[in-house]
Amino acid sequence: MVGMVRNVMLTIAYDGTDFHGWQVQPNLRTVQGVVEQAVRRVARLQVEIIGSGRTDAGVHAAGQVANFFTQSVIPADNLRRAIGSRLPKDVSILAARDVSPDFDARRKALSKMYRYRIHASIHRPVEHLTQRQAYHYWHPIDVERMRCGARHFIGEMDFQSMASKGSPKESYVRTVLRCEVERFDDEIRVSIEGRGFLYNQVRNMVGTLIEVGRGHWEPGRIAEILGSLDRAEAGPTAPARGLSLRWVRYPSQFLIPSDDDEPTLGASADKYA
């Protein structure tokens, strides 16, 4: 059935291990590719999915956000079920809802939060069945040192020293709203919220924090690295498997209220997750 053009927002979770990242690439399995294929089968039209950002190969998501335009009159929650039933087992549509016509998952984001998981133990993470989602680092790590170092990342500044090749050259200035380090038994979690990130910025920040945590550098060294604007001064890029996009935050004005709003998607919510 065909009606007026609607803008539909999807909240998507996926295990990125067996994907070549989010963005469609010829002859490669990508998250955007499999989701677009499923949406097209349901909508019976060519549909382009707009994602909030491009996660790299091996990176996961618990709250990726995307949107697409369609003339389908199928209710949003029925779309969620129909699209989800046509997806592989390593992708899930957590929510679908109508949003205003000017909503754009990439351009309208206020901030997004990534979390990096480090399995800090001599034993492999397979004992916790997290080997696909956590980076195994078997040397001792001082979490308090990492916390002290993490404070230097907060604020608006030039992050050129944390940018890998492939980042845009027009500006390396980005804003990090918070950078927190917590330990849960054998697992260290680094949570970083920002208004936008350079290519591999989060993984380079984590790799640098690990160097601080292992005692290779003092926490204050991070301020010097940032001031150098030199990628070679920073730590290594942490492996992709430990990284997950947890949520993306948008202004609530884009929501179209519905009778069955979920708490995390209510008209007053700023976070779509």
* Catalytic residue annotation: 56
48 contacts: CB under 8 Å, gap ≥ 6: 36, 68
Please, is 123 exposed, middle or buried when counting C-beta atoms within 10 Å of its C-beta (0-12, 13-18, 19+)?
A: exposed
| Side-chain half-sphere CA neighbours of 25 within 13 A | 13
* The two three-digit tokens of residue 41, written as one number: 């089968």
User: Which residue matches tokens 């029925």?
Assistant: 78
Q: What is the CA radius of gyration of the chain?
A: 20
Which amino acid, 215? G
Kindly state the DSSP code that residue 255 receives in the 8-state scheme.
Answer: B
| Torsion angle in degrees (nearest 10) through CA of 208, 210, 215, 216 | -40
Please return the burial class of 118, using the count of CB atoms within 10 Å of its CB with bins 0-12, 13-18 and 19+: buried
